[in-house]
Amino acid sequence: MLVRTDPCAGSGVPLGCRVAVPRLAGLQRGSSMPGFSRCRASGLVIALALTAFAGPVPAQTLQGGVTQDYYNAGAGSRGNTTYPTGSQSHQPNDAPCNNPYGCGRGYGQQGGISANPSGDVYCQRSPDMPMYGPYSHTGPQTPCNLPSQAQAPQSPPINGCWTNMPNGKLCVQDGVFRDQNGNVVILRGINLAGTSKTPPFLPLPAAFAPPPNSNHETRDFDFLGNSDLSPIARMPGLGFNVIRLIFVWEAYEPVEGQRNPAYIAMLRAIISRAWQYHIYTVVDFHQDAFARTLAQGCGEGFPRWTIPRTIGPLDTPDNSVACADWMMIAAKDSRVHAAFSALYHSDLRRKYLQVANDLVSQLCGEPGVIGFDPLNEPFSDPTGWGPPVDGSSGGALPTERELASLYQSVAGLEAVRRTRPILFLEPNLIVDTGLTTNLPKPQGYSQVAYAPHYYDPQTTAKWLNKFIAPGPTTAALQRMQKIAGLWNAPLFIGEFGAAIDTGNAQGYMNTLHDEFNRTLASAAQWSFTPGWTAGLKDGWNGEDLSIVAPVQTRSRLFRPRPYPQQTAGVPKSLQVTYPKGDTSLAYTMTYTWQPQQTTTNTTVFFLPQYPGLDRVAQSGGALQAGCLAAVNPFGSPDFQRMVNTCLGQPQIGGPLQVEVRPAGAVNCSTRTYPGGVIKLMCEATTAASAGLVQVVVSYNGWDR
């Protein structure tokens, strides 16, 4: 069956009977009336409650800027028509309305075609939103008495942490992220950006901005005026629904007591622009090796004034390619460890918490901001060791007592208690190599995600720099999943990635995403750096991990991948395969979930933006009464294809096919989002009220 939501399926047509019919000659766009689309056809009324024509017409604007594509008679252009609100009433001779969205039928003889003196066609819009009512219609009004389509059970949605939560926020309950409608959300996104780490600290630099690592004075710098936010528009089409946005204390407060509101204004503008595209933000308090004046000038993050004078002479900031081995340099630098000890045990802790509270207060109330990462890749407890909390073998680990204490203080901050952000908590830096941790979850604060990073040592070791075996990656994700389970928290891999010169980088990325899917984890790749240059690469320590350089997407490091962004229920399993090889567009995604009543009852999939997403076929449905009667049999060469569609067979030659198990459990359609991104929406029906639902989406690589 066609899975586009047509404008005439309010209640009178079995969902399996939305059959494309041939475009009629002479059919033209006419005027309109509230709640309807109006077309003209010489002497014929096409009861679009029975049929959906093959030509696309205006995409209707939904709440939040979402648009809904639908078919209508003869129109061939797209546009925007605002969904009306209210409820739809019926003509006295109409059948009872059992559609919770409101009902409206095309009127005509059995079979869907009737004469009308005016030659007008009135068509109900798709049932995602209620209709105006009542309406009137002059001319013959013969009800089309076809079976009503199945609708989702109308018991009230369950309540939880999302009850009364504003739009643009997520919360944590039962180990998953939930949106304001109670849907489970999986986050797949990107870090922004490599150029954020060094002066002038710009994640999205304009072409005329000072270059990264230029030691440009930023105390009175116009951050936003030197930024170009336009690259954000690319992110939805790449499948990103979250950015991890770097905050650098040195940029905000280069001189003690002199905080720069212009820096926060730039971050706020990025957050706002991202949310225009329905992209969430995690604010990340970033540092590496503490500061640019430590680790031979290879660090970044904390201002120079935060480093205790007692730890010895400081280094001149470098952050050039000479710092390529910065992590080992930092691990061997006793001053780095001393600086972290000061963070945990001296007055610097109080100053850090003041800035953290300030940051949360200013940004975490913004629409789209879902959480706060208090400290990127921290060192802690270099002399305290203990067994892993998950009971696994493999030797002692840093006890994490210092880090646990700091996180407990962050959870108690006034701004945190007031704005309730999700705290994305990272363990000790060494866990990035795949080890486990004994970091405990903060007490008394439920809004927490376990947010380790992961870089396979095979890919980071200078002597190897090649992905050979998947075993270490698989084992690492299993350990991370176990800790998240002990915390009853979502797993969010805050960073992963590979340098462009990594051997078998594509195989590494495929293995990582296989594990993310197996564990149903959320993740953000490092990094999206539009300010990349051939000379400076990502703009810090010679790193070259950006998935864009500067405009072109680097296929060795990244490809858009299908996944469920929101689920009306509990996710159970996700698998994506590439039957024609890693370089082919063809893929098969298999997703299984336990339906659960939510406000929307809709599961949303991101699909890579390949050709033909607007030509979708859904199989698995059964023949329903009146289905053949809804087909216009006027000698169309596409008649056989339409009959096959009605019978639930995939369209011949269609690039995107959807199979629902059990048949009819969900009704799937495509919808266009801001930026022209097409997603697959699967709305639950009565068949989904019990048992598991599985959707298999196949894209065969067809290019029209």
Alpha helices in 520-638 (DSSP H): none
Instruction: Give the pLDDT band (50/70/90) at residue 654.
Output: low
Q: What is the pLDDT of residue 18?
A: 28
Instruction: Give the residue among 617, 680, 621 at the shortest CA–CA distance from 652.
Output: 617
Instruction: Give the pLDDT band (50/70/90) at residue 701.
Output: confident
pLDDT beyond 50 at 447: yes
Which range is least confidently modeled, 25-39, 154-168, 337-351, 397-411?
25-39
Q: Average model confidence (pLDDT) for the chain? A: 77
Is there a contact between 605 and 582 (Cβ–Cβ < 8 Å)?
no
Is there a contact between 144 and 28 (Cβ–Cβ < 8 Å)?
no
CA angle (89, 91, 96) in 5-degree steps: 70
Q: What is the pLDDT of residue 175?
A: 97
Which range is least confidently modeled, 10-24, 162-176, 204-218, 572-586?
10-24
Phi, psi of 410 (to 5 degrees): -60, -40
Long-range CB contacts (< 8 A, 24+ apart) of 391-400? 392/436, 392/479, 392/482, 394/435, 394/436, 397/428, 397/430, 397/435, 397/436, 397/437, 397/438, 398/428, 398/430, 398/438, 399/438, 400/427, 400/428, 400/437, 400/438, 400/439, 400/440
Is there a contact between 646 and 631 (Cβ–Cβ < 8 Å)?
yes
Q: What is the pLDDT of residue 537?
A: 96
Q: Per-residue pLDDT averaged across 365-386, rounded?
A: 89
Q: What is the pLDDT of residue 462?
A: 87
Using alpha carbons only, how large is the chain's radius of gyration in Å?
28
Using alpha carbons, list the distances in angstroms from residue 580 to 248, 577, 687: 44, 9, 34
- Give the residues across from 178 on adjacent strands: 171, 184
pLDDT beyond 80 at 494: yes
- Give the residues across from 660 on adjacent strands: 695
Give the percent of the chain with pLDDT over 70.
70
pLDDT beyond 80 at 635: no
Q: Per-residue pLDDT averaged across 428-432, rounded?
A: 93
Instruction: Give the pLDDT band (50/70/90) at residue 217.
Output: confident
d(CA 595, CA 597): 7
Three-state helix/strand/coil letters over 521-534? CEEEECCCCCCCEC
Long-range CB contacts (< 8 A, 24+ apart) of 512-515? 512/454, 512/473, 513/561, 513/576, 514/576, 515/473, 515/474, 515/477
d(CA 341, CA 298): 19
pLDDT by residue (tens digit) across 276-332? 999 999 999 999 999 999 999 999 999 999 999 999 899 999 999 999 999 999 999
For CA atoms 558, 561, 566, 571, give the dihedral sign. negative
Is there a contact between 379 and 336 (Cβ–Cβ < 8 Å)?
yes
pLDDT beyond 60 at 92: no
Q: Per-residue pLDDT averaged across 156-174, rounded?
A: 91
pLDDT by residue (tens digit) across 551-592? 899 999 999 999 999 999 999 999 999 998 878 889 999 999
Task: Map out the domains of the chain with their CATH numbers.
Answer: 1-149 (no CATH), 186-562 (3.20.20.80)
Label residue 403 left, alpha or beta by phi (over 0 means left) and psi (-120 to 50 means alpha).
Answer: alpha
Q: Per-residue pLDDT averaged across 245-253, rounded?
A: 97
Name the residue with higher pLDDT: 633 or 699.
699
pLDDT beyond 90 at 625: no
Q: What is the DSSP string of 68-108?
A: E--B-SS-----EEEPP-S-----TTSPPP--TT-------
Is there a contact between 523 and 478 (Cβ–Cβ < 8 Å)?
no
pLDDT beyond 70 at 73: no
